[in-house]
Structure 1
């Protein structure tokens, strides 16, 4: 598995069609969590403090994902569904056809931070 030095390297290695989505997601997370550090954990980029990850993101062959705390997903399940997106216990998947709205990224990022006590 490829190890990435930073967010730029991860995005550059992602499928080309997803790179603009990842750039936008990164920017929105940086705006939402301005004092959090950019880090790489579990071979994907994220934002957090030390070893505590508030939000992470990833690109796959057919979709991208935003990963936050379980509590954030539960708290915003209706917003996720209203956006036409699918959620797992700790993530929301999205694609070019159905990108994740900036407002939802902000809600999930802030809720995850609160849920984790960071």
Structure 2
């Protein structure tokens, strides 16, 4: 059950508008990069975060006080996983600090890898709400 004080977002635009101007710019650029890298991706909301689907949800992103989180973890591309090591948390989810330059090109490659991982091989998608 949602907490009464928690906003339930219905769209990417609504989620992004609720952030600070600096974070809005970052989220908008991530959104643009994903749509460029995976042009057939469709915007949606999952777990109250902006997400993208291509049949199945394959990419979630969210703003936090000090970082941008990207979910779920990449597990199928070992070279990409190695390049993501500085950003990976204990469960493999990605955390990009807001006080550091945002690696947009790397994030675009993550989106492409996650689309391949979750939408092409018959794997079950991450759950969405």
- For Structure 1 versus Structure 2, the TM-score category normalised by the shorter chain is 0.7 to 0.9
Q: Is the 8 A contact 1:73 1:87 kept in 2?
A: no
Is the 1:36–1:48 Cα contact (8 Å) retained in structure 2? yes
Q: How many residue pairs were aligned? A: 115
Structure 2: segments with no counterpart, 5+ residues:
1-5, 121-129
Change (3 A) 1:72 1:102: farther
- 1:61 matched to 2:65? The reply is yes
Larger Rg: 2
Gaps of 5+ in 1: none
User: Matches of 2:71 and 2:42 in 1, distance apart?
Assistant: 16
Which aligned segments of 4 or more residues in structure 1 are displaced greater than 4 angstroms?
72-75
Deviation track 1:8-48 (CA, whole Å, cap 9, x = no partner) reads: 10001123331111111111111111111100011000110
Q: TM-score, normalised by structure 1?
A: 0.82
Partner of 2:7: 2
- Using the size of structure 2 for normalisation, the TM-score is 0.76
